[in-house]
Amino acid sequence: MNSSRRGGVFGFRLQSLDIVSDTRAPGDRSTTLMGFVAGVVREKYPNVLEFVNEVTYLEKAATVSLQLLGVDIRQMSRGLKETTKELVENKQNKKLKKFCLEAEPRVTRLEADFATANEAFQEVVHTLGRTQKLPNPMPFFPSC
């Protein structure tokens, strides 16, 4: 994989992990490459084993369209701006004022969370060697 004939390795496809669990050592047919890698991780990098707790919603996340989610969040932001303009014109409306005060930090947080999620997804795509822009995670995580 790292030979100079084929160039550098920039990542791998998640489907490659299926092959890793079937690849066996030449001398000891009971040992798989996956078992060997798991043993090394368990021995030298035990904190990495906690990643399973970080991917509890991977199956659900794979069905989300980042483009559509971004559109929805931008629409919420525009709607809140329009509502805030309405509040400026009608300062006496206490319900509208309360709504704006409660909604503004929520929308701001949604925008920040979306930016973080989008950046993280693009980083994973790049790290695993997928250079094309993917509109959503479904083609990236087909086995979920």
Quick check: helix, strand or coil at residue 114? helix
Note the pTM of the prediction, 2 decimals: 0.60
Domain ranges of the chain: 16-55, 58-127
- DSSP secondary structure letter of residue 24: B
Render pLDDT for 94-106 as a digit per residue (tens, 0 to 9): 999 999 999 999 9
Listed range (41-50, 79-88, 134-143) with the worst mean pLDDT:
134-143
Q: Is the dihedral of CA 37, 43, 44, 48 positive or negative?
A: positive
Please tell me the predicted confidence (pLDDT) of residue 1: 45
